[in-house]
């Protein structure tokens, strides 16, 4: 009798484990995409410039990221479509065109930051960015268009795992844990333009539109439906929390190493936070991780953008097609790669360029979040799976606060141009 009860239970448990592993991934990958070149530079700058004061803001951003990623995953699971397709179907042509334009601009800014990250990584090895960025752009383009991307993606992911050293560095760096705790649970904001700009950059690099595009599309493409969604919900929330714990560890490690020294000026400064783990090899470890994370995103972001736009207009989309067979898809991918690389070659400080691109993303992000919020409240799409009342209140607050931050940055920019500030 025991055996007849135990075996069905064991089979049921095995099936549940299989289901969990089948849906695990989209949320974790999408959320960790924020910990790329721009993310590392922004988090490290928060620690070097304001020590631990940004930690409470990161807690709020984590809540917002969880809400946004959950809504994106739910839309993908219950509709079987990506965000671009849903926006095209559910809104007027002009409104959809505006949303797509914002996504393109945001993702172009993200591609720029990734190539800036590639340039900064090679500079740590003594290679000029004016040589490294063009060669890297051509290599990544050729890899996707003519070669096999899957093995390169695994290799770049392996390189970017170097950043997992940050949580260890945060512990070994002997930070003031009392200050860490105080700044995490209670706001220590500053009424300054620099603080607001960096706050928007943190939003832009943590809740970037690319992540929402990928989340919904990956869930839909993997065939995750309403039945599997409870497991995918765990993946989406867990991925968001894990990614932001890494981000907060970067802030803590950098604050312990160079906190209070002002704006982050170079990749060498960011690498110093890894010295408790790697010692004299900290710069090399940082450069390897930065190169892997940047190269991965520099290929994936334009590729996913091209997929989304081609899907929205019903055009052919496949890396196995020739230019004559998929001109829009491969043409858009080409423009994003070489356009992003070209902007990253402009004279100036690469670290400051990374931060500027994250501020741009922070300004555009509220537009995309509004579309996601509206879609997640439409019963014609989700039925009973629309946002609940309490969830909706939190979601509206998150989108409103992000929007107000973006408006504040624009207002500060206008006042600065007018000479008021």
Report whether pLDDT(375) > 70.
yes
Give me the residue label for tokens 């409470």. 56
**132 has a pLDDT exceeding 90:** yes
- Stretch among 100-114, 116-130, 207-221 having the lowest mean pLDDT: 207-221
d(CA 156, CA 134): 18
Helices within 161-228 (DSSP H only): 165-172, 177-185, 193-206, 209-221
pLDDT digits (tens, 9 = 90+) for 214-226: 778 778 777 788 8
Contacts of residue 268, defined as CB under 8 A and 6 or more positions apart, other chains included, come to 124, 283
Instruction: Find out whether 241 and 66 touch, Cβ atoms under 8 Å.
Output: yes
Is the confidence at residue 178, as pLDDT, over 90? yes
Convert the pLDDT of each residue in 46-82 to its tens digit: 999 999 999 999 999 999 999 998 999 899 899 988 8
Say what the pLDDT of residue 21 is. 41
> Residues 291-321: pLDDT tens digits?
888 887 888 788 778 877 877 777 776 666 7
Please tell me the predicted confidence (pLDDT) of residue 345: 92
Residue 228: is its pLDDT beyond 90?
Answer: no
Q: Domain locations in the chain?
A: 35-417
* Contact status, residue 217 vs residue 69, Cβ threshold 8 Å: no
Distance of alpha carbon 60 from alpha carbon 81, whole angstroms: 29
As assigned by CATH, the class of the 35-417 domain is mainly alpha
> Among candidates 207, 208, 165, which has minimal Cα distance to 61?
207
pLDDT of residue 23: 44
Tell me: the pLDDT tens digits for 24-51? Answer: 456 666 656 667 788 888 999 999 999 9
d(CA 346, CA 353): 9
pLDDT category at 20 given cuts 50, 70, 90 is: very low
Average pLDDT, the chain: 82
Lowest mean pLDDT: which of 3-12, 74-83, 117-126, 230-239? Answer: 3-12
What pLDDT, on a 0 to 100 scale, did the predictor assign at position 13? 44
Cα separation, 103 vs 212, in Å, equals 10
The pLDDT assigned to 19 comes to 41
């Amino acid at each position: 009798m025991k055996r007849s009860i135990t075996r069905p239970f064991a089979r049921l448990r095995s099936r549940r484990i299989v289901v969990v592993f089948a849906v695990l991934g989209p949320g974790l990958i999408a959320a960790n995409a924020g910990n790329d070149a721009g993310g590392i530079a922004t988090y490290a700058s928060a620690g070097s410039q304001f020590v631990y004061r940004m930690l409470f803001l990161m807690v709020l951003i984590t809540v917002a990221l969880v809400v946004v990623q959950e809504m994106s995953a739910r839309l993908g699971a219950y509709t079987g479509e990506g965000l671009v397709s849903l926006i095209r179907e559910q809104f007027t042509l002009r409104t959809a065109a505006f949303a797509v334009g914002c996504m393109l601009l945001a993702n172009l800014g993200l591609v720029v930051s990734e190539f800036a990250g590639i340039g900064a990584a090679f500079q740590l090895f003594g290679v000029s960015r004016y040589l490294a960025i063009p060669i890297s752009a051509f290599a990544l383009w050729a890899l996707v268009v003519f070669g096999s991307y899957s093995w390169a993606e695994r290799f770049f992911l392996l390189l970017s795992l170097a950043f997992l050293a940050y949580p260890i560095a945060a512990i070994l760096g002997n930070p003031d844990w009392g200050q860490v705790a105080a700044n995490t649970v209670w706001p220590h904001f500053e009424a300054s333009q620099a603080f607001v700009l960096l706050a928007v950059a943190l939003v832009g690099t943590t809740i970037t539109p690319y992540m929402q595009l990928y989340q919904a599309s990956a869930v839909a493409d993997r065939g995750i439906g309403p039945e599997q969604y409870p497991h995918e919900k765990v993946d989406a929330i867990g991925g968001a929390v894990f990614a932001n714990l890494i981000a907060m560890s970067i802030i803590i490690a950098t604050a312990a190493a160079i906190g209070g020294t002002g704006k982050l000026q170079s990749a060498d400064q960011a690498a110093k936070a890894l010295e408790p783990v790697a010692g004299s090899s900290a710069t090399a470890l940082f450069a390897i991780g930065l190169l892997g994370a940047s190269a991965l995103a520099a290929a994936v972001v334009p590729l996913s953008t091209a997929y989304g736009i081609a899907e929205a207009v019903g055009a052919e989309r496949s890396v196995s097609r020739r230019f004559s067979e998929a001109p829009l898809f491969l043409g858009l991918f080409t423009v994003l790669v070489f356009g992003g690389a070209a902007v990253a070659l402009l004279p100036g400080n690469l670290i400051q360029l990374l931060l500027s691109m994250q501020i741009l993303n922070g300004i555009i992000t509220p537009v995309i979040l509004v579309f996601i919020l509206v879609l997640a409240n439409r019963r014609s799409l989700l039925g009973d799976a629309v946002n609940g009342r309490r969830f909706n209140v939190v979601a509206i607050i998150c989108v409103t606060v992000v929007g107000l931050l973006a408006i504040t940055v624009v207002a500060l920019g206008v006042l600065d141009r007018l000479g008021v500030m």
